[in-house]
Structure 1
Amino acid sequence: MSESLAPWQQRVHDQAMATLSAGRLGHALLFDGPAVLGKRAVAERLAAYVLSGGEPAAEARNRPLIAAGTHPDLHVVSFVPNKEGTRLRTEIVIEQIRELGQQLALTPQYGRAQVAIIDPADALNTSACNALLKTLEEPAPGRYLWLVSARPGRLPATIRSRCQRLEFRLPPRDEAAAWLHARGHAVPAAAEALDAARGHPGLADEWLRGDGLALRREVATDMAAMEAGRLEPLEAATRWTADDHAAERLRHAAEHALGLGRAQAAGTGLTDPDRLHKLGAWFDAANRARELLRSTVRADLVMADLLLAWRDASRPQAGKGDNR
């Protein structure tokens, strides 16, 4: 657990603490907002406070235990290995929620409270949601159930309506840039990453610390080559699924299609309305494909179908738009 929170995280944390101090913090919270904005970090910081009963010394002792995942009164529910142990499940199942209910029924080991964090909550399957709803409807004193989600709309309304919402939003650009600089990123690189991430500091930081920007450029180059007929979609699909970055490539690909669509909408030389419609449809298809990659489908087949569709969607009709 980080020692310091980013400014946008601190604002949400302070909001929650004010609500807690006023005695208006319910047992169920929904931390929602874009991925990689630090929702889990804020949830863990609040957990350290709640589990300590507000005593600073106890909170200081709780933080390293929470960071190590060894606090006996903090229960985190997330993806677990499948029965074969070959990969993580792509959903949270009813057995996990039943086990959580059993844990919350026990007396807290440190005698103060228990906190459960479900992350990502939108991965709960239907049976797990139904089991969770019972826990939400019958709260026990000193038991807190916190849901973390970048896609809260996927949760049933019956669950969302029983949670207080803590919303995370993208910060102002100058704040995001200052945070990136403070983390050691050079000004030009931070600006490029922030532009590529459409103002999302968490994504920009992740890309700068890894190969995200290089991967983004590679994807744009491949998509332009497919559009121009210099690269076969099946060849690109094979390469795009040859490692663990297929989902990230699809994210960049969807952003690339969105950028082309915006360029057309802005009237920068692209004037084919049929192409604009196809780009929008392909953007949606790319995001659906990202979700499919979380399942057991063959990634190469999903990618091949998508990139074959890209070749059609990206090209203007003969006699329309720009005549490249």
Structure 2
Amino acid sequence: MIALPWHAEHWARLQARRQRDAMPHALLLVGPAGLGKRDFLQRFVHGLLCLQPQDGEACGQCRSCLLLAAGTHPDYVSLSFGLRKDGVQRSEIVVDQIRELSARLSMSSQFGGWQVVSIDPADAMNAAAANALLKTLEEPSQQTLLLLVADAPWRLPQTIRSRCQRIEFQLPSHAEALAWLQAEGVKDAAAALDAAGGNPGLARAWGEQGALARRQEVRKDLAALAAGRGEAMEVVKRWLDNEPAQRLWFAAQAAADEAKAQAATSPGPLTSALTSEALGDWYMAANRTRDALRGPLRADLLLLELLARWR
């Protein structure tokens, strides 16, 4: 199991609660994508269900550990996007899945210990599913632990959030993140960390995926549009062909950098004619557009409207 340095405090607290036999019945793991929430969850679940754990860590050899590794442990349920009747993966977690889960939790543990459920992403539950889960949270079974993972916890109803103990994963210090990236052998670690907004997990993934080159391409595109060169539709096509959400992340970063340069009364690197206030509005619009890419609206029209505002 992966043990990341910025997990240490959360891990120690949970293990202390476990030793005091004071485990909550529901945990909500939140924080930016890339900080290892799901690695933390798997590490904790394996240690909790292990028959002979050492300091909370799974042995990896007992029957329980082997069943978990095979994905067949009878006391662990992992709930995510299911399939529709036509075999297509759903884009949300639906009420029937939660009802099935509740029926399963009404039965006793086959190993005589914990029954553990992970719901990921919990913020993908529709309203009916969330209401159904609320009943389980209000009347938890003995030795049942629900683990909810959410990159966007604000999408969860307050009634769900208030009934879970929250574990919030925050960005580590720049020095800690940089040291970890360098130990992982990430090239251009400092530049990758800057591109990822201080998120070491994203920085490592993006460093491996050539994201720094895409970041430069985005800035060149914005500079060209600001100078009246190039066609917005051509930029839209390029962005849609290769990691559009990531390119919008970099575009928002570029707008923020431009605004900082203007505040320092020096020409911005993109030479945008937008005012500092307009750059702030465009930054927020870029982030909203990135979020909207997951919805039903046409991505090309969303991007075209955004870039038209930039010009």
Distance apart, 1:63 and its partner CA: 4.5
RMSD: 2.4
Instruction: Find the aligned partners of 1:195 and 1:4 in 2 and give their Cα distance.
Output: 24
Instruction: Find the aligned partners of 1:303 and 1:5 in 2 and give their Cα distance.
Output: 39
Distance 1:107 1:190, change over 3 A: same
Distance apart, 1:81 and its partner CA: 4.2
- 2:191 alignment counterpart: 192
- What is the aligned-residue identity percentage? 47
Instruction: Find the aligned partners of 1:206 and 1:293 in 2 and give their Cα distance.
Output: 21
- 2:254 alignment counterpart: 256
- 1:218 alignment counterpart: 217
Q: Give 2:11's aligned amino acid.
A: H
Q: Is the 8 A contact 2:258 2:272 kept in 1?
A: no
Q: TM-score, normalised by structure 2?
A: 0.89
**Secondary structure in 2 matching 1:284:** helix
- 1:182 alignment counterpart: 183
Distance 1:65 1:206, change over 3 A: farther
Distance 1:68 1:208, change over 3 A: farther
Instruction: Find the aligned partners of 1:260 and 1:168 in 2 and give their Cα distance.
Output: 29
Distance 1:80 1:174, change over 3 A: same
Distance apart, 1:49 and its partner CA: 2.1
Distance apart, 1:222 and its partner CA: 1.1
- 2:50 alignment counterpart: 52
Instruction: Find the aligned partners of 1:283 and 1:18 in 2 and give their Cα distance.
Output: 42
Distance apart, 1:82 and its partner CA: 4.7
Distance apart, 1:273 and its partner CA: 11
Distance apart, 1:272 and its partner CA: 10
**Secondary structure in 2 matching 1:239:** helix
Q: Give 1:15's aligned amino acid.
A: R
- 1:293 alignment counterpart: 293
Q: Give 2:287's aligned amino acid.
A: N
Which runs of structure 2 are paired with 1:40-189 in the superposition (5 Å)? Answer: 40-52=38-50, 55-56=53-54, 59-60=59-60, 61=62, 62-63=64-65, 65-86=67-88, 88-186=89-187, 189=188
Q: Is the 8 A contact 1:293 1:299 kept in 2?
A: yes
- 1:278 alignment counterpart: 278
Instruction: Find the aligned partners of 2:115 and 2:150 in 1 and give their Cα distance.
Output: 20
**Secondary structure in 1 matching 2:295:** coil
Instruction: Find the aligned partners of 1:281 and 1:82 in 2 and give their Cα distance.
Output: 39
Instruction: Find the aligned partners of 2:171 and 2:211 in 1 and give their Cα distance.
Output: 19
Q: Give 2:39's aligned amino acid.
A: A
**Secondary structure in 1 matching 2:277:** helix
**Secondary structure in 1 matching 2:166:** strand
Deviations 1:92-122 (A, max 9, x none): 2222222222222233333322111112222
- 1:32 alignment counterpart: 30
In the comparison of the two structures, how many residue pairs are matched? 305
Instruction: Find the aligned partners of 1:259 and 1:18 in 2 and give their Cα distance.
Output: 43
Distance 1:273 1:306, change over 3 A: closer
Stretches of structure 1 that go unaligned for 5 or more consecutive residues are 312-324
Distance apart, 1:154 and its partner CA: 2.1
**Secondary structure in 2 matching 1:166:** strand
Instruction: Find the aligned partners of 2:49 and 2:38 in 1 and give their Cα distance.
Output: 16
- 2:200 alignment counterpart: 201
